[in-house]
Structures are given as structure tokens and as C-alpha cells.
Amino acid sequence: MRKARLGVFKFTSCDGCQLSLLNLEEELLAVVDLFDVAYFREATDKPLRGTFDLALVEGSVSTERQKEEILNIRDRARYLIAMGACATSGGLQALRNWASLSAYKARVYPSPENVHALSTSTPVSDHVYVDYELWGCPVTRNALSEVLVSFILEKKPALRGYSVCMECKRHGIPCLLVSQGAPCLGPVTRAGCEALCPALGKPCYGCFGPKDDANVESLLSRFRLMGLRSEECRALLDKMNTYAYRKVQGENRS
Amino acid sequence: MSQLILWKEDLQQLFHRLQAAYRVIGPLAADGVVGLAELENLSSLPIGHRDRQGPGVYRLENVGDADIFSFVVGPDSVKRFLHPPVQHPYTFRKSRKRLHIASPRAAPQEKPLAFFALRPCDVAALKLLDKVFLESPLKDRRYQAVRDGVFLLAVNCLHPAETCFCHAMQTGPEVRDGFDLSLTELDAGFLVEIGSEKGKEILNGVPTAEATARDAAEKAAKLEASRSRMKRSVPLRALPQVLYNHLEHPRWAETAARCLGCGNCTQVCPTCFCTTAHDHVSLACLAQKEAQWCGSRVRLWDSCFSLNFARVHGGNFRTSRKARYRHWMLHKLAYWIDQFGTPGCVGCGRCITWCPVGIDVTEELEAIAASRNVP
């Protein structure tokens, strides 16, 4: 039986999610056993050729050329999986979606005319059909492993859509919001990290993006009652999943 | 039932008697909350602490209270020990020819558990969990393995939190049955009641005195004061019908606008027992030559507030938060009554305290029950 062809692609991102894949360590050999790693610039120098059974896409769509590239990859892939905050919600670079790109460019680069970027940074799902989304900044080894295994077994991956609070409670971590008044985004954020930050006494800052049916407005009302100003609330959400949280807020209001 | 007095300095002796025969689980302050953990000695109790609780707020303060049991319940309950949040009921291995499933028996416990200073609400919760896991047609073996031989030392509640409503649910502040020993903290000592042979036996060698009528009067007065401090009420006699009559009450949508759907209420609830299950297979296992695949079934605490909870083949029958909140309250306060003859709520107030936005189940129920003519 021929091995499934796996492609790993990068758009606008920091490469951290691809590194999560390489960080599978002892399981990495299993990946090579099970898949024909046909394209993966972080790991091999094989050129882009042919079709893929499974394409893992990191990064957001941020340039005119990338808009073409993502269509090309979708055409070549049986399953396309967006991995990480950039691919699932536009990433930190989506902060420019509500700002002036030319002002940013002029401020950062000596020759801004050489920077060919779109005025927005958008998730892969804004451009093509995405089969599954792996959230997180970066994605976890567990989620990557689950999706690769599920592909082989032809089953639906067990991915979490509920809140980080559920993981806090499973681990017996006292609620930072209720017991300390900390502005924790856990109640509106997707689980999957095993409550990494709250376990270390730090409130969740939402790197897994909004959970299913997140009620962002209600949580922010609570934060304002606790004494946070509106701009402080805004700053809590304006991180790597800013675009996804803002979309949810739009839905909450309508 | 005979009543005895145990002097406060002799509580240590009772504790040692328990420790000799049981793994003693009791209240332990850590990270700013009273949790439940194995107690090494009596001095690890959060003596002199008060837990200030309100809707969405919990603060543990050392106020130097003279009482030993001046705090009540934190987020954890016996549920964590009897029905753990993560379980692996069985493992499986498939080769080309056969599928092998192994359900390892829970490793026999070295010592059974003793719950030290369990509150009346949690004694009631344990009885409800027993109904679910042991009195149903399908018994939960894992639950039973831990449950068998458990010792319950109950402590009556004299310092209820603002969120407590056991009085309204008729489960407290005095424990009525289902315990081995119960203590009521008086000014000079503890009034001890024996609830079982096991309880009587553990008192062997612990110095006690016969309680007097004055002790009994002090206990009654303290419990009455405790009752009067609990302000929340629940229209028990109107249940479950009052909820069935108001399935389309506008209040459901108003609450849903506040509800985060985060599931905290269900996770801290001592009687919420729902789980989800999936099969975990590792990459390494798939790459093995001798098996096609292998792995384990994973059973996790779940919540009816999660969107996927009600997803079945072909659709999801509770897609709105309104439907999910309503389902939760109806399950607790209506379906339970139909199924088990008693509400699934014990009035511990945890869901009120640990709701990040402070939704109060008694307030919601009151709003719905008050307007009897609204559909």
C-alpha cells in the first residue's frame, strides 16, 4: 500500500507550528513511517510537486501572491488542515486589519514601497474550504498527533471546542477569575492547552482563540465591573486571535 | 442515638484513629481556595479561615476565627475522588486477525477513603451519585471500587457562605443520615453523633463525655442561627411542574445573554456526572508492525453547556445557549425529580460562586416561578 503524501506549507507566520510538528520527537519516526513527507521546507528540500493526501497549512494569507498559492494548495490536497493561530484566525499580524497598513509600513521600513502586503491578514478559511482547524499559538503536539492518527484511521479527530475552564476544573486548578479577580479569557477560549497558563497561576490570554459559541460580550461586561477600562479589555483580546475574537463580538452584537 | 462531647484538643485523637485505617481526604487551603486533598495531619486544616463567597466571587481570608470549621465548601467535592475527571476504562489492540479489549480492574486501594469534615450538602450529593452509579441497572464498577468502605465524617455547618442554600434544599445545615460520624462545633467541644457501627468503632479509645441537655440546646441554637443566615429560597413544592409550565419564559433568553457557556457550574457541581468519551490512539502505535492499531478509551468530565454535548449523528438538538441553560436547570430541578424522586441539586451554592459572571440558579428559578401566568 502506498504511503499517504503529506505536505506542510507555510504562509505568513513564525514557523512555530511547523516546529511543533518536528517536536513530536519520539513520534516523529512514526510520522515518517506512516507518511511520505512530500513537501516540508523546515525538514526537507523536496520541491513542490504533485498532489497531497493531507496538507497542513501554517500562517495567514497576507500578500497577493499568497491568495493564489492557497488556491493552488487546496487544488492539490485531499484534506487541508489549518494549523495555528495565524492559519485559523489571521494571527497577530491581523492587528493591521483595523489600522492603516501604509502608516505601519512607513514607520517600520526605510523603503515601504518594496513591501507588497495586503491591507488585511486573514485566516485560510476566508479563502478556501478547510477540513479541520487546529487552534493554538503554537498548536500542540497532542492535536497534531490526533489529526495525523485520525487521517490514517479515517475517523473524525477528537478536537476540543469547549472552554479552557473545563481543563482547569479537570486538573483541579482554582479559578483565577473567581478566586483572585484576574481577567482570565478562559471562559471564552477554546481548550486544548490543558490549561497551561492557569496551572502556572497566570490568566489565560486566549492563544487558542474563541471557543464554540463564545460569549465575549458577557465576559467583557464582567471585566468592566471588576474595574477594567474598555481599552484594557480590547488589549486583552488584541493578540494572536484578534480577528477571530472580533468576529465573535460582531456575532454577539447582531 | 447517643450524643457525646469530644473536646477540641481530642479531635487529634479521632484524626489519628481515622488515619490508621483510612486515607483521610479533607479540606486543605492551597492557591487561595479550600480544596480537598489527603490530610497528613490536623494542623493542615485551614483553621481560622473564612471563605467569603458571592455570585462569581470567592476570597479565602485568615480571620483568626476561634472555630476550627469556620469555612465551608470550595470548588472541589467528593466527585473528584469517586468519579475522577479523567479515566481510562479500557485499552484495545487490533491485529490483522483479532481485536483484543482489556478492561483492567482498578488497582486495589491500600486503604479505603475517609472524608473528613464533609458538609451536609456533600453527604447529600454523595447519596445522589450513589443513585446514578450504583442504583441504576448498569453499575459503575470503578465508582463502586472507591465507594466501598468509604468513611464519612460530617461536620454540620454553622458558618454558611452567602451562596449556601442547603436549608432551602432540605439537605442541611444539619446532616440527617448517610454519615458515620457527625460533629457540631460548640464553644467548648464537638457534639458527636454516631451514624453507623463503623462510626462507633472509630471512637473506641477516643476520650469522650456524655453530652448534656445544655450541649444539645447550644447545638440547636447554633444551627438555627445558621439557618437564619441563609437567605435564598427555592419553591420546592412547585417543582418540577413550574419549570415544565414555563419552557418559553423570556427569562431563559435573558440568562443566555449573560451565560458564558463555559461549563464551570457543571464541573463544580457535586452531582453533575456527565462524561464524554473518545478513543486515543498514538502515532507510535500505528507505526508498530505487530498491531494495526492500539490505544485506550478516554472518559472525561463533560458539560451540557458545551456546544458539542448534544451533537448526535445528523445534528445538534441544543444549538443555543438558551436551550443549554434551560436543559441544565430542568435536568437538576425537574428531570431528576421524575427519574429519582428527588432534585439533583443539594444547595451547596458552588454553581453560584464559581460562575465567572455570577449567574444565581436560585434567582433564575425564582424569576421563572414568580410569573406563573407567563408561558
In a domain, A215, yes or no: yes
pLDDT at residue A254, as a whole number: 59
Q: Give the CA radius of gyration of chain A.
A: 19
Do residue A28 and residue A53 come from a single domain?
yes
Do residue A203 and residue A111 come from a single domain?
no
Model confidence pLDDT, tens digit, residues B100-145: 999 877 667 789 999 999 999 999 999 999 999 999 888 998 999 9
For residue B33, list its beta bridge partners.
B30
pLDDT at residue B277, as a whole number: 95
Average pLDDT over residues B266-271: 98
Chain A: residue whose CA lies nearest to B304 = A162
Judging contacts by C-beta atoms under 8 Å, the chain A residues touching residue B308 are: 161-162, 212
Model confidence pLDDT, tens digit, residues B332-346: 999 999 999 999 999
A61 to chain B nearest CA, in Å? 29
In a domain, A147, yes or no: yes
Q: DSSP for A216-243, please give it.
A: HHHHHHHHHHTT--HHHHHHHHSSTTHH
CB B52, CB B262: distance < 8 Å: no
Is the preceding omega at residue B240 within 30 degrees of 0, hence cis?
yes
Average pLDDT over residues B156-171: 97
Average pLDDT over residues A107-121: 93
Picking from B81, B260, B313 by the largest number of A CB atoms within 10 A of its own CB, the best residue to mutate is B260
Do residue A177 and residue A115 come from a single domain?
no
Do residue A209 and residue A125 come from a single domain?
no
Q: Rounded distance, CA A33 to CA A39, Å?
A: 15
Domain boundary among A98, A122, A153: A153
What is the band of A227 on the pLDDT scale with cuts at 50, 70, 90?
Answer: very high
Model confidence pLDDT, tens digit, residues A134-166: 999 999 999 999 999 999 999 999 999 999 999
Model confidence pLDDT, tens digit, residues A174-187: 999 999 999 999 99
Model confidence pLDDT, tens digit, residues B344-375: 999 999 999 999 999 999 999 999 998 765 55
Q: Rounded distance, CA B148 to CA B113, Å?
A: 9
Q: Rounded distance, CA B23 to CA B45, Å?
A: 15
Model confidence pLDDT, tens digit, residues B271-290: 999 999 999 998 988 887 76
Picking from A54, A179, A190, A211 by the largest number of B CB atoms within 10 A of its own CB, the best residue to mutate is A179
| A125 Cβ contact partners less than 8 Å away, ≥ 6 residues apart | A82, A88, A133
pLDDT at residue B37 above 70? yes
pLDDT at residue B294, as a whole number: 86
pLDDT at residue A84 above 80? yes
Query: How distant is the alpha carbon of residue B84 from its chain centre?
Result: 12
Model confidence pLDDT, tens digit, residues B278-326: 999 989 888 877 667 789 999 999 999 999 999 999 999 999 999 999 9
Residue A227, class by beta-carbon neighbours within 10 Å (0-12 exposed, 13-18 middle, 19+ buried)? exposed
- Of A216 and A2, the structure prediction assigns the larger pLDDT to A216
Q: What is the DSSP letter of B151?
A: E
Number of H helices, E strands in chain A: 12, 5
Q: Which domain holds residue A73?
A: 4-153
In a domain, A144, yes or no: yes
Work out how many domains chain A is built from and give that number: 2
Put simply, the answer to whether B356 touches A219 (Cβ < 8 Å) is yes
Do residue A115 and residue A232 come from a single domain?
no
Q: Rounded distance, CA A100 to CA A37, Å?
A: 40
Judging contacts by C-beta atoms under 8 Å, the chain B residues touching residue A26 are: 284
How many CB pairs (< 8 A) connect A and B? 142
CATH number at residue A39: 3.40.50.700
pLDDT at residue A218 above 90? yes
Average pLDDT over residues B160-165: 98
Q: What is the mean pLDDT of chain A?
A: 95
pLDDT at residue B106, as a whole number: 67
Chain B: residue whose CA lies nearest to A26 = B284
Do residue A211 and residue A147 come from a single domain?
no
Q: Where are the domains of chain B?
A: 3-229, 236-370
Put simply, the answer to whether A163 touches B321 (Cβ < 8 Å) is no
pLDDT at residue B372, as a whole number: 60
Do residue A22 and residue A82 come from a single domain?
yes
What proportion of chain A, given as a percentage, has pLDDT over 70?
99
Chain A: residue whose CA lies nearest to B34 = A174
CB A130, CB A122: distance < 8 Å: no
Residue A112, class by beta-carbon neighbours within 10 Å (0-12 exposed, 13-18 middle, 19+ buried)? middle
Put simply, the answer to whether B283 touches A148 (Cβ < 8 Å) is yes
A167 to chain B nearest CA, in Å? 9
Put simply, the answer to whether A30 touches B356 (Cβ < 8 Å) is no
Chain B: residue whose CA lies nearest to A199 = B31
Rounded to whole angstroms, what are the CA distances from B123 to B129, B164, B182? 10, 15, 11
In a domain, A124, yes or no: yes
Rounded to whole angstroms, what are the CA distances from B329 to B126, B247, B265, B345? 20, 11, 11, 9
Q: What is the mean pLDDT of chain B?
A: 93
pLDDT at residue B110, as a whole number: 82
CB B335, CB B241: distance < 8 Å: no
Query: How distant is the alpha carbon of residue B255 from its chain centre?
Result: 24
What is the band of B94 on the pLDDT scale with cuts at 50, 70, 90?
Answer: confident
Do residue A199 and residue A105 come from a single domain?
no
Do residue A145 and residue A217 come from a single domain?
no
CB A66, CB A42: distance < 8 Å: no
Do residue A121 and residue A201 come from a single domain?
no
Put simply, the answer to whether A218 touches B259 (Cβ < 8 Å) is yes
Average pLDDT over residues A58-72: 98
Model confidence pLDDT, tens digit, residues B188-216: 999 999 999 999 999 999 999 999 999 99
Q: At what angle do helices A242-253 and A216-225 cross, to 10 degrees?
A: 90
A70 to chain B nearest CA, in Å? 28
Q: Rounded distance, CA B333 to CA B343, Å?
A: 5
Put simply, the answer to whether B264 touches A218 (Cβ < 8 Å) is no
